[in-house]
Structure 1
Amino acid sequence: MPNETIVHVVDDDLAVRQSLSFLLASEGLPVRLHESASAFLETVAAPSGCIVTDVRMPGMDGIEFLRHLRERGFGIPVIVMTGHADVPMAVEAMKEGALDFIEKPFDDDLFLAAVRSALQVRERLAERDAQAAELQARLDGLSERERQVLEGLVAGKANKVIGYDLDISPRTVEIYRANVMTKMQAGSLSELVRMALQAGVDSGSQAPAP
């Protein structure tokens, strides 16, 4: 299976780690075990899949663990396991970015459903990141003038106005616009504008290129 499906179990209790490892493996889900949050952070440079962690652990607890994950820019879904008395901590964990929390003792099916949901979230995030990277690559392929024309289109300006702003003819704007459509692989103006907005293109004024 691809690395994206790895389930990282972070818990100081060996019995819990072994039990969850057996359960996940029985469902065909690759699992990696970590005895503490610190051990995870020391050994995993680019985590994929999802994390299942106890909220209350010696040393670095689940809340601090989540903060470290966020500081490092790890956009990996995290499921927090908690005892009944620790529900307030679990709620705090969700405020810190945890995707979900489940109370111990939990039903196996409930646990597996939460893990699969987290993996699906990760898959969607990966697809979104790939799409964003592809859009950025297309934008990077535009010339300075093409980028200026695109910004004018995003601002809702007509070819005539864009031409005036850039000191070029409306016909030349049409040529640049066609080039932009081709390079951005947009089938319509609305699709082009949607792509540009998704990529964060600034719709500010266009100054004439030198």
Structure 2
Amino acid sequence: MPASPIIAIVDDDPGVRGSIDSLVRSTGMTPCSFASAGELLAAGDEALACIVTDLHMPEMTGLELQAEMLRRGWAVPLIVMTAFPTDAAREQAMGAGARAFLTKPVDPDSLLDAIEAAIR
């Protein structure tokens, strides 16, 4: 793993991606943003320390991304965020190995705590 952990940010909202990018960068970690799950999957998981993904996105949801990661054997810690949390989605994400399930708007300290716990 590089000296500066690479944190993938997957969200179809450019404002959210930009905010999380700035937050991650402010800690000395290296953000790598993707507008869709498909973009992340095409890029691959090499060198990623953690993935932060939105739950509800066009084309592929965060839960579908998680399932595809498992199918491909990716062992990268995953944090799921959503503005529309449900118990079922939380149980599915956490049951499949997500490290955290956070409600948007995400508290910056809670997100950083989740990222730091995931990359330990």
Give the TM-score normalised by structure 2.
0.91
Q: Aligned residues, how many?
A: 120
Aligned AA for 1:39?
A: E
1:16 is aligned to: 16
Which protein has the larger Cα radius of gyration, Structure 1 or Structure 2?
1
Corresponding position: 1:52 with 2:55: no
Corresponding position: 1:113 with 2:117: no
Q: After superposition, give the CA deviation of every residue in 1:79-104 in whole Å (9 maximum; x if it has no partner).
A: 00012444431321112221111111
99 and 68 in structure 1: CA distance in 2 versus 1, 3 angstrom threshold: same
**C-alpha contact (below 8 Å) 1:50/1:119 kept by paired residues:** yes
SS in 2 for 1:49: strand
Aligned AA for 2:110?
A: L
47 and 55 in structure 1: CA distance in 2 versus 1, 3 angstrom threshold: farther
Q: Which has the higher strand share?
A: 2
2:29 is aligned to: 29
Aligned AA for 1:5?
A: P
Q: Which sections of structure 1, spanning at least 5 residues, go unmatched?
A: 121-210
Paired-residue identity, %: 38
Aligned-pair distance for 1:26? 0.9
Distance in 1 (alpha carbons) for counterparts of 2:97 and 2:65: 11
List 4+ stretches of structure 1 deviating above 6 A.
none
Q: Which sections of structure 2, spanning at least 5 residues, go unmatched?
A: none
1:185 is aligned to: none
**C-alpha contact (below 8 Å) 1:4/1:48 kept by paired residues:** no
TM-align CA RMSD? 1.8
Structure number with greater CO (CA < 8 Å, separation at least 6) is: 2
